[in-house]
Amino acid sequence: MSVKANQETLGFQTEVKQLLDLMIHSLYSNREIFLRELISNASDAEDKLRFEALKDDSLYEKDTDLKIKIDFNKEQKIITILDNGIGMSREEIIENLGTIAKSGTKQFFDSLTGDQTKDSQLIGQFGVGFYSCFIVAKKVEVITRRAGENRANGVRWISEGENDYTIETVDRPKRGTKVILYLRDDADMFLDGFKLRSIITKYSDHISFPIVMDEEDDIDNKKEKSGEETVNSATALWARNKKEIKDEEYNEFYKHISHDYDDPIAHIHNKVEGRHEYTSLLYIPSRAPFDLWDKEQQHGVKLYVRRIFIMDDAKQILPSWLRFIRGVIDSNDLPLNVSREILQQNKIVDSIRLGCTKKIMSLLKAMTKKNEEYQKFWNIFGKVLKEGVVDNSDFKGDLSQLFRFSSTHEDTDEQKVSLKDYVGRMQEGQNSIYYVIADSYVTAKGSPHIEIFKKKGIEVLLLSEPIDEWVTTHLSEYEGKTLQSANKGELDLGDIQSETEKKKKKKNSEVHNDLIERIKNVVNDKVKDVRITERLTTSPACLVSDSNDMGRHLEQILKASGQNIPGSKPILEINPDHPIIKKISSEKDDDLFSDWSHILFDQALLSEGGQLADPVNFIKKLNSMIVSMSK
Ligand code: ADP
């Protein structure tokens, strides 16, 4: 076989092979989406051409009639998708159709389980794109030329979707891209004009460029071609009157811009007139994108200026705590040559950001009325939304109504309780909203710090996400009720505590003064103070932070993230009613007393999920206690 000088065969990146394999198996029941994906790419390419031509209109090469053409040939068993968009150079085609350039791709594929049902769920988060053509095609040929390039610099890319692809330079008089699908034998049903038209109207009606097909006249049962017809509506969806747009159309448009293949949870479509004019069409996805937590995540909305596509992922349009929102903003006021730098400090963008954020807040508030739907949203995006109170105080009030927490009032770890629910259940005399923070729901729920609350039937919010430390700091109150940590400072139960209890505490402290001093002497270097507790009912001891100190959990998080912070010592609180405390208060042997004191400190640390400095020593002491007690 003679190999042409400009021809080369290259292997697909491992992730592409994995994606191809996964897709062919998992999307088999919904094969028709290949057309949606290819039309979506063609439409993006037309958008990009129009954008680049703003600066250099020679790129149009005298052909400004932007359109996408779908053709098929029953005899040859091929379908072609032709666009006159931006096209690709040789380098671009290698980059785009041989690798997956999304950040976090490797991690995504590493997270696959090998279990086909589970993995096919995951693939939706990832977006299928161009490679979906291999669900119906045994061979795919892409012929393309970048706009503005010499006709001799066309490229042909061919692959059977297995391990590799071949590319060569070809003569290509017209700019843009032609994708030829050589269908598998079992995909014959797509070689049908009616079928293709119905797929186009179903998934791609909203595409703002005309999608054309040859007209077919049924003469004597023999189909003949007579000119072209436009199959879709070919107007920008967001520019249409919302009363005339069906939910399905909104959903399909969402899939086009988001590369998700599930319907969104909700959308909001809004036209703003006045000082700044813009249209926004924003969606809440029904699942987290695979790279939601990736710092380099490509997020943001698509920005258009007077219907002309300007950029993907315009991050400045929405705050980062709304990075899961997908959609389109079309501004009438921004200049067409707007760049990312300009977006960063721009009054128009500021006003769009504020307007859109408000709209999303009201959409979410409206969603809270439907509990189940909102719960679904919260479970997926709650953690991101919580960043909002840390980031931006303007929306604190709105956000505090949207937050949901786990609580001692519920039996599940699902975050269901709103601050409104909590306040509605507050006891007479209770002035604060109590919470406890730990590194897991189980630790928070079992935390000794909330024993007294449980006994008195006072609800405590159980927080266990790292962000919660910041949330509680920034959201210091809700409707005039302060948020108060159950494991920081002196316990203040307000008027819920009876006078007798307050007196008992005072008396206890006096009676046990000697014991407190003795323990303090032993654990002196580990604690700031030792005192009689008011929180504990069943545990012997617990650790609390001084009211002005950083919470112990926050301290751990910061240390784990490599920050060098001066640690603060906790306060050891002991429960004089507990048998162990009673026993050691009469312990004469100083060595034994010292062991007991250390054990008390260590177990208090363990119960809040802390780590012992010397676990071996702890076990040794504990064992020797057990032995001595059973003698
Ligand atoms: P995505 O569209 O999500 O980026 P795809 O796998 O569908 O992923 O496509 C990869 C890239 O290939 C696109 O981002 C685009 O740069 C390029 N591409 C695909 N189809 C075309 C086309 N018809 N014209 C120009 N470029 C294209």
Residue of the CA atom closest to atom 11 of ligand 1: 96
**Mean of the pLDDT values across residues 198-220?**
86
The region, left, alpha or beta by phi > 0 then psi within -120 to 50, assigned to residue 153 is alpha
Cα of 45 vs centre of ligand 1, distance in Å, is 8
Choice from 22, 96, 132, 172 to test ligand 1 binding pocket (greatest atom count within 8 A of CB): 96
For residue 314, what are the β-bridge partners? 301
Q: How far is CA 119 from CA 37, 68, 100, 380, in A?
A: 20, 33, 18, 18
Residue 60 placed within a domain: yes
Residue of the CA atom closest to atom 10 of ligand 1: 96
Cα of 39 vs centre of ligand 1, distance in Å, is 10
pLDDT, one tens digit per residue, over 248-288 is 999 999 998 988 878 999 999 999 998 899 999 999 999 88
Q: Which atom of ligand 1 is nearest to the CA of 81?
A: 23
Q: Tell me, yes or no, whether 356 and 434 share the same domain.
A: no
Q: Which atom of ligand 1 is nearest to the CA of 42?
A: 23
612: Cβ contacts below 8 Å, ≥ 6 apart: 602, 605, 606, 618
Q: Tell me, yes or no, whether 113 and 158 share the same domain.
A: yes
Cα of 120 vs centre of ligand 1, distance in Å, is 22
Q: How confident is the model at residue 24 (pLDDT cuts 50, 70, 90)?
A: confident
pLDDT, one tens digit per residue, over 75-116 is 999 999 999 999 999 999 999 998 887 777 777 778 777 776
Q: Looking at 312, 339, 367, which one is the last position of a domain? A: 367
CATH of the domain at 362: 3.30.230.80
Cα of 342 vs centre of ligand 1, distance in Å, is 27
Q: Which atom of ligand 1 is nearest to the CA of 102?
A: 4
Q: Tell me, yes or no, whether 130 and 20 share the same domain.
A: yes
Helix axes 347-368, 371-391, angle to 10 degrees: 140
Helix (H, G, I), strand (E, B) or coil at 140: strand
Which pLDDT does position 266 carry in this prediction?
A: 95
Cα of 126 vs centre of ligand 1, distance in Å, is 14
Residue of the CA atom closest to atom 7 of ligand 1: 129
Q: Which atom of ligand 1 is nearest to the CA of 129?
A: 7
Cα of 196 vs centre of ligand 1, distance in Å, is 21
Which pLDDT does position 219 carry in this prediction?
A: 55
Residue of the CA atom closest to atom 13 of ligand 1: 96
Q: Which atom of ligand 1 is nearest to the CA of 83?
A: 23
Which pLDDT does position 342 carry in this prediction?
A: 84
Cα of 172 vs centre of ligand 1, distance in Å, is 19
Q: Which domain holds residue 542?
A: 499-630
**Mean of the pLDDT values across residues 204-228?**
79
**Mean of the pLDDT values across residues 39-47?**
95
- pLDDT above 90 covers a percentage of the chain that reads 59
Burial readout 566-598 (b: 16 or more C-beta within 10 A, e: otherwise): eeebbbbbbbbebebbeebbebeeeeebbbbbb
Q: Which atom of ligand 1 is nearest to the CA of 131?
A: 6
Choice from 15, 19, 22, 41 to test ligand 1 binding pocket (greatest atom count within 8 A of CB): 41
Pair of tokens at residue 625: 């206690």
Q: Tell me, yes or no, whether 352 and 422 share the same domain.
A: no
Residue 432 placed within a domain: yes
Q: Which of the two residues, 379 and 289, has the higher pLDDT score? A: 379
Choice from 37, 83, 130 to test ligand 1 binding pocket (greatest atom count within 8 A of CB): 130
pLDDT for residue 493 is more than 80: no
Structural domains in the chain (count): 4
CATH of the domain at 576: 1.20.120.790
Residue 135 placed within a domain: yes
Cα of 191 vs centre of ligand 1, distance in Å, is 24
Q: Looking at 470, 494, 518, which one is the last position of a domain? A: 494
Residue of the CA atom closest to atom 9 of ligand 1: 130
Q: Tell me, yes or no, whether 482 and 510 share the same domain.
A: no
Which pLDDT does position 225 carry in this prediction?
A: 66
Cα of 114 vs centre of ligand 1, distance in Å, is 27
Q: How confident is the model at residue 220 (pLDDT cuts 50, 70, 90)?
A: low
The DSSP 8-state label assigned to residue 448 in this structure reads: G
Which range is least confidently modeled, 153-162, 325-334, 467-476?
Answer: 467-476
Q: Tell me, yes or no, whether 287 and 174 share the same domain.
A: no
Q: Tell me, yes or no, whether 175 and 112 share the same domain.
A: yes
Residue of the CA atom closest to atom 16 of ligand 1: 96
pLDDT, one tens digit per residue, over 520-538 is 999 999 999 999 988 898 9
Which pLDDT does position 2 carry in this prediction?
A: 42
Residue 386 placed within a domain: no
CATH of the domain at 201: 3.30.565.10
Q: How many helices (H) does the chain have, and how many strands (E)?
A: 21, 22
Residue 531 placed within a domain: yes
Contact 258, 285 (CB under 8 A): yes
Q: Tell me, yes or no, whether 118 and 135 share the same domain.
A: yes
pLDDT, one tens digit per residue, over 288-322 is 877 787 766 777 799 999 988 898 888 889 999 99
Residues with CB under 6 A from ligand 1: 37, 41-42, 45, 83, 85-88, 96-97, 127, 129-131, 177, 259
Phi, psi (deg, nearest 5) at residue 169: -85, 135
Cα of 256 vs centre of ligand 1, distance in Å, is 12
Contact 506, 568 (CB under 8 A): no
Cα of 258 vs centre of ligand 1, distance in Å, is 13
> What distance in Å separates the CA atoms of residue 179 and residue 35, rounded to the nearest whole number?
11
Q: Tell me, yes or no, whether 518 and 484 share the same domain.
A: no
Residue of the CA atom closest to atom 18 of ligand 1: 41
Residue of the CA atom closest to atom 23 of ligand 1: 42
Q: Which of the two residues, 19 and 440, has the higher pLDDT score? A: 440
User: pTM of whole model > 0.85?
Assistant: no
Cα of 93 vs centre of ligand 1, distance in Å, is 9
Q: Tell me, yes or no, whether 342 and 447 share the same domain.
A: no
Cα of 96 vs centre of ligand 1, distance in Å, is 6
575: Cβ contacts below 8 Å, ≥ 6 apart: 532, 533, 536, 537, 539, 540, 541, 581
Cα of 129 vs centre of ligand 1, distance in Å, is 7
Q: Tell me, yes or no, whether 224 and 160 share the same domain.
A: yes
Which pLDDT does position 1 carry in this prediction?
A: 39
**Mean of the pLDDT values across residues 578-582?**
91
The DSSP 8-state label assigned to residue 417 in this structure reads: B
Choice from 33, 43, 44, 326 to test ligand 1 binding pocket (greatest atom count within 8 A of CB): 44
Cα of 186 vs centre of ligand 1, distance in Å, is 26
Most distant CA pair in the chain: distance in Å?
Answer: 112
pLDDT for residue 32 is more than 50: yes
Residue of the CA atom closest to atom 19 of ligand 1: 41
Residue 399 placed within a domain: no
Q: Helices marked H in 493-577 — which ranges?
A: 499-511, 513-523, 552-560
Q: Which atom of ligand 1 is nearest to the CA of 86?
A: 25
Residue 394 placed within a domain: no
Output the average pLDDT for the chain: 89
Cα 333 to its chain centre, rounded Å, is: 31
Q: How far is CA 605 from CA 295, 552, 572, 600, 613, in A?
A: 34, 10, 10, 9, 10
Q: Looking at 428, 461, 494, which one is the last position of a domain? A: 494
Residue of the CA atom closest to atom 1 of ligand 1: 129
> What distance in Å separates the CA atoms of residue 363 and residue 343, rounded to the nearest whole number?
25
> What distance in Å separates the CA atoms of residue 433 and residue 452, rounded to the nearest whole number?
15
Cα of 88 vs centre of ligand 1, distance in Å, is 9
How many beta carbons lie within 10 A of that of residue 358, not counting itself? 13
Q: Tell me, yes or no, whether 88 and 206 share the same domain.
A: yes
Cα of 94 vs centre of ligand 1, distance in Å, is 11
Q: Which atom of ligand 1 is nearest to the CA of 85?
A: 24
Residue 120 placed within a domain: yes
